[in-house]
Amino acid sequence: MPPVTTPGAPGVPSPAGDATGETFVEPDPNIATQDDLQGLRSDLENFKFQWQRERDLHTAISTRSLTIGGVVQTRIGWTDQPVTTATSNDRHVTFDLGAAILSFNGILYKDYEEGRNLTYSLRFGSSPQQASNNSFLNLLDAQIAYSLTPTLGPEDWILQVTLGQQLLPFGLEVPANEELKPVITNAQFTTKLGLNRRDLGLIVRGDILPQVDYGYNYRAPILAYAVGIVNGSGPNTPDDNTEKDIIGRLAFTVPSDYNSILRQITLGGSVYIGWQNTFLKDEKKTLSGKGIKQRYGADIYYNHYPIGVTYEFIYGRDDATLGTTAEDPQKTRQTSLSHVATFFYNWGEQFLRGYRNQGRYDDWWPKTYQPFIRVDLFDPSTEVLENRVDVYTLGFNLFFAETTKFQLNFNRRDDRTNKEGAQHELLAQLQGGF
């Protein structure tokens, strides 16, 4: 027999109109209970723990903003004349690495109000050694830079001071990075005049009166400048004498609209005034005082898709010691001349902003093809007859990914001091960046 319930008793609904009864209310499924909230808190704590664990195990962490990048160059070369060095004999074909570079860049202090940021750059690199089978990872760049003027918009004038080890702002080819160099090997003057090596010092860079086209994301300052003071003794080396070297550069860009045929015509001039130690031609290479080390350059740059032309003229003056004794050092002054001209043509879409801004899956990138011709003439001493070296390069570059390109160079090297005649060389290089 079922139990008898009395209206108004606990848990029993009362008839309508009963003042002493309680109305039963169904629970609202949209209202969270304490148990629901406690479960959500537990799930969040578990998610936080798992996320932190994954980040600690699988993510590189730094105390400041950091961007890691690099360049790898793999190369094969052939020459018609046998090459003999300390580690090879009669070599015609070889595989080697052009360079392997690892870079770290970031911000030490970010100014959100005016953009006066404090940044840093650290780069390490290795390249094949000519007289050895060892390649070491060397410090290339180690610098801290600060923007003295606001940099929030493209119309702001730039004024930045950089302290540390860095490339020299001289001409077109010396400060260019690996991604922008069309030729596999550098121009002769960069190595023979010691301009391609980094140096320790303080350099101020800036520009004024920038021409800005927001529609094409284009910015070109009418005047760009750089001036600095460096040790003059090369990278990773303290100053080797009591003098400091001065370097400066000024570049003028013709003001024009983006669609103008005059766009990107730049005329530049560079100067380097320094001192270097001179040594006797004896077995001990005895120090024989100091001498001048001066470089003067003029250049023109025109890059209006699809054609491009660059030209650099370099004039150098160096003091040298030809004698073997301190009593008769035979100190002399040598004058060097260099002419470097490059002509290239592009077809493809990689350098067109409309294609670059398209979102694509994975590493798809519009391809660009670039044939070019370079003429590189260098005379190490105009006082000596028949010692000029002429290098003619016929090349082709294929840009087939955002940071990847294939390069093919055929060089004819005519060294007037080489009695065997002109040397021909074929180089193929694959360069990738990350």
Is 122 contained in some domain?
Answer: no
More confident residue, 15 or 137: 137
DSSP calls for 292-359: EEEEEEEEEEEEETTEEEEEEEEEEEEEEE--SSSS---EEEEEEEEEEEEEEE-EESTT-HHHHTS-
> Is residue 265 in a domain?
yes
Q: Is residue 257 included in any domain, yes or no?
A: yes
pTM metric for this prediction: 0.81
Residue 21 lies in a domain: no
| pLDDT score, position 395 | 95
Environment class of residue 173 by beta-carbon count within 10 Å: exposed (0-12), middle (13-18) or buried (19+)? buried
- Selection from 94-98, 254-258, 427-431 with the highest mean pLDDT: 427-431
CATH classification at residue 394: 2.40.160.10
> Is omega for the bond preceding 82 within 30 degrees of 0, making it cis?
no
Q: Distance of alpha carbon 294 from its chain centroid, rounded?
A: 26
Range(s) of the domain holding residue 213: 156-433
Distance separating alpha carbons of residues 241 and 262, to the nearest angstrom: 46
Continuous segment of H or E residues that includes residue 71: strand 67-83
Mean pLDDT of 307-327: 90
Mean pLDDT value of segment 160-176: 94
- pLDDT band at 20; cut points 50, 70, 90: low
Q: Does residue 66 fall inside a structural domain?
A: no
The residue among 363, 354, 362, 426 whose CA lies nearest residue 399 is 363
pLDDT at residue number 221: 93
Has residue 228 got a pLDDT over 90? Answer: yes
Please compute the mean of the pLDDT values over residues 303-308 and round it to a whole number: 88
C-alpha 269: how far from chain center:
22
What average pLDDT does range 237-244 have in this prediction?
A: 88
Residue 97 has pLDDT above 80, yes or no: yes
Across 423-427, average pLDDT:
93
Q: For residue 217, tell me if it sits in a domain.
A: yes
Q: Is residue 69 part of a domain?
A: no
Q: How does residue 270 score in pLDDT terms, banded at 50, 70 and 90? A: very high
Mean pLDDT computed over 217-243:
90
Please tell me the predicted confidence (pLDDT) of residue 358. Answer: 57
Reported as a pLDDT band with limits 50, 70 and 90, residue 213 is confident
370's tokens: 């670039």
Q: Is residue 20 part of a domain?
A: no
Which residues face 148 on adjacent strands?
A: none
52/358: higher pLDDT: 52
Q: Where are the alpha helices (DSSP H) in 347-432?
A: 353-356
Count: domains in the chain = 1
Q: Residue 239 pLDDT more than 90?
A: no
Whether 312 and 350 have beta carbons less than 8 Å apart is answered as: no
DSSP 116: -
- Rounded (10°) CA dihedral 75, 76, 81, 87: 70
- On whether the CB atoms of residues 403 and 41 are closer than 8 A, the answer is no
Which are the contacts of 149, defined by CB distance < 8 A and separation ≥ 6? 116, 156, 157, 158, 159, 206
34-38, 252-256, 275-279: least confident range:
34-38
Q: Can you tell me the distance from the alpha carbon of 203 to that of 231, in angstroms, rounded to the nearest whole number?
A: 12
